[in-house]
Structure 1
Amino acid sequence: MSDAEMITILILFHSNTFRNFKHFYLFYVCRELKKEFPNLLSYTRFVERMPRVAMPLLLFLKLGLMGECTGITFIVCDNKRQSRNRVFKGYAQKGKSTMGWYYGFKLHLLCNERGELLNFALTRANVDDRNPKVFNDLTKDLFGKLYADKGYISQSLFASLFDRGVHIVTGIRTNMKNRLMDVHDKIMLRKRSIIETINDMLKNVAQIVHTRHRSIANFIVNLLAGIAAYAFYDTKPSINMEFERDAKQGVKQ
């Protein structure tokens, strides 16, 4: 069985309604897709070989499935909770979010107004959202405006991005002085829910979060396959930019 066939099956699982990969493989792939996949492996052998497709899947995702920067970008950091078990020992760390302390990882996501993912990064939970190394890698191909929540407020981060042609726009904290903001930027900040919706789809439709992982490699493959499956979804959350322009003009009048 080729790596391409394995990747196809993994992405298909995250595009399906099955909630358990073993059931999906044994009762759907092995019974209904024998013609499409004539050299099927046993379930145990398939799971054992999953780590070898991690790099090809990552390359396919990064080089072929990421969206195009339009000058309007949204960023979010999502917390991936994992149980304290030996599989994640040495990898997952304890971190803190608005919901309290948790043990696991962080998934950093960038998307445009069309709902296309532009880039992503996975870090330990104790890595700061504004970590320069992570942020530079995430935003290396961006231009225009980047809309973020208050957790990304940082003068050094603003200056670094501005020097590269990226203007990060955030709300202000309650203890900060008020400042003038372009009407369009205010509207776009309110539209940050687009990436929260993407987050929800990755969790509940693409199933990138579960606790049945047997190895860190299979955890990574599951995550990559879920993100790849999202890229193939026909319907993605998006922002009607024509409507937003009309709203902006109405405010000015």
Structure 2
Amino acid sequence: MIDSTQLFCIIDDFFLKFESIYWNFLKQNFRCSRVRPAQLSISEITFIAIWYKCSHFNNFKAFFTALKYNNSHLFKHLPCYQRMIHLMNTHQLALHALHFALMKDQQSNYLWIDSTILPVCKNQRIQRHKSLSAIATRGKSSMGWFFGCKLHLLMNQSGGIVNTVLSNGHTADIKMVEQLVKGMTAKLYADRGYISHELKSRLKDQDIDLITYHRKNMKSIQLLKADEYHLKQRNKIETLFSLLKGTYNLVTTRARSVAGYLAGIYASLCAYQICHQNKPMIRIMEISA
């Protein structure tokens, strides 16, 4: 885990180049007639959101109270808790941009794909849940029914995140594959939930080789030794999901707005990308001629 100074330097280096583009984007797309910066810079707002995800706190109010008490000297002026929440929600696009920039150099010729559920409440509270009803839907996974969203993710052999897509809870995994691998050329390893002859054919035209196990009622396919080995390593992406949920608090039931919910997800992803050092790695077995 890197220290807070190093974390801030990484974030600030990015926003020194990107901040002017970011403000121009907000003006053009959200018709912001003027820019009114807060007393905290975009780098500081993003840093606090990500630092919280790296901390041992699972409640942002407790984290922010401790920050004001112990580390207020690191900032010129810290706002109140309600204002800090507003700033993080307002600038969730900045967190998304940082997450996207961190993925740029992670492309590889070997990729693993999977999805994980992000429930926003317990099933008993579905009828009463209102804050995220615009994006959350009922879905079913191997663990049963849930109400929330899905995170679809591509991982490389170094445990790096290559691409991510959020979807509703009811969206089938195979519907998001082409969006995830657009513009890439690679071998793609997936579980049986991604079996589709039509999808495999479309990906082949894009120079993506989709490799999965076959089902029991299907004709067996003889896989290359290297491909069979790489398929067996697919559990490493489950380790990545466990780290995101267990260490970086990816799943939350405390979000009170869509913007806050998205800010929390992108902060968790950025925290893993920047701070996690022992990522789940996969040794590549070269295919012999």
Instruction: State the alpha-carbon separation in 2 of the partners of residues 142 and 238 from structure 1.
Output: 21
**2:163 matches 1:119:** yes
**What amino acid is the match of 1:52?**
T
- 1:68 and 2:106 correspond: yes
Partner of 2:86: 48
Could you tell me the TM-score, scaled by structure 1's length?
0.91
What's the offset of the Cα at 1:145? 0.3
Q: How does 1:94-109 map to 2 (within 5 A)?
A: 94-109=138-153
For 1:177 and 1:65, locate their aligned partners in 2 and report how far apart those are by CA, in whole Å: 37
Q: CA deviation at 1:82?
A: 1.8
Letter of the structure 2 residue corresponding to residue 123 of structure 1: S
* SS state at 1:121 partner: strand
SS of the counterpart of 2:174? Answer: coil
Once the two structures are superposed, what CA deviation does each residue of 1:186-210 show, in whole Å capped at 9, x if it has no partner?
A: 0000000111000000000010112
Following superposition of structure 1 onto structure 2, how do residues 165-176 of structure 1 map, counting pairs within 5 Å? 165-176=207-218
Residue 200 of structure 1 is matched in structure 2 by 242
Q: Could you state the TM-score of these two structures normalised by the residue count of structure 2? A: 0.80
Q: Residue 189 of structure 1: SS of its match in structure 2?
A: helix
Counterparts of 1:19 and 1:90 in 2: how far apart (Å)? 25
Q: Which residue of 1 aligns with 2:24?
A: none
Q: Which segment is superposed worse, 183-192 or 206-215?
A: 206-215
Amino acid of the structure 2 residue aligned with 1:34: S
- Identical columns (%): 30
Gaps of 5+ in 2: 1-39
Distance in structure 2 (CA, Å) of the matches to 1:147 and 1:164 = 15
Deviation at 1:65, TM superposition (A): 4.3
CA distance in 1, matches of 2:158, 2:197: 29
Report the alpha carbon displacement of residue 231 of structure 1 after superposing the two structures with TM.
0.2
Which amino acid in the other structure matches residue 182 of structure 2? K
Partner of 2:18: none
Q: Are 1:79 and 2:122 an aligned pair?
A: no
> Structure 2 CA distance, aligned partners of 1:33 and 1:115?
32
- Partner AA of 1:53 in structure 2: H
Q: Could you say which residue in structure 1 is the equivalent of 2:30?
A: none
Kept in 1: contact 2:132–2:256 (CA 8 A): no
What secondary structure sits across from 1:217 in the alignment?
helix
The yes-or-no answer on 1:180 pairing with 2:219 is no
Shift of 1:137: 2.1
Task: Find the partner of 1:135 among 135, 156, 177.
Answer: 177
Structure 2 equivalent of residue 234 of structure 1:
277
- Establish whether residue 15 from structure 1 lines up as the match of residue 74 from structure 2: no
Q: Secondary structure at the match of 2:117?
A: strand
Provide Cα deviations, 1:45-83, integer angstroms capped at 9, x if missing partner. Answer: 101222211111111110234542220100011011122
The answer as to whether partners of 2:102 and 2:273 remain within 8 angstroms in 1 is no
Partner amino acid, structure 1, of 2:242 = D
Report the residue type matching 1:17 in the other structure.
Answer: H
CA deviation after TM superposition for structure 1 residue 141, in Å: 3.5
**8 Å Cα contact 2:50-2:271 kept in structure 1:** yes
State the secondary structure of the residue aligned to 1:88. Answer: coil
- Number of residues paired by the alignment? 243
Cα distance in 2, alignment partners of residues 196 and 117 from structure 1: 13
**8 A Cα contact 1:150 1:171, kept in partner:** yes
Are 2:103 and 2:163, in contact at CA under 8 Å, matched by a contact in 1? no
Q: Distance in 1 between matches of 2:196 and 2:62?
A: 47
User: Deviation at 1:37?
Assistant: 1.4
**How many Å separate the matches in 2 of 1:135 and 1:177?**
24
Which secondary structure does the structure 2 equivalent of 1:94 belong to?
Answer: strand
- Contact preservation (8 Å) 1:75, 1:110: yes
One-letter amino acid matched to 1:96: K
Amino acid paired to 1:76: D
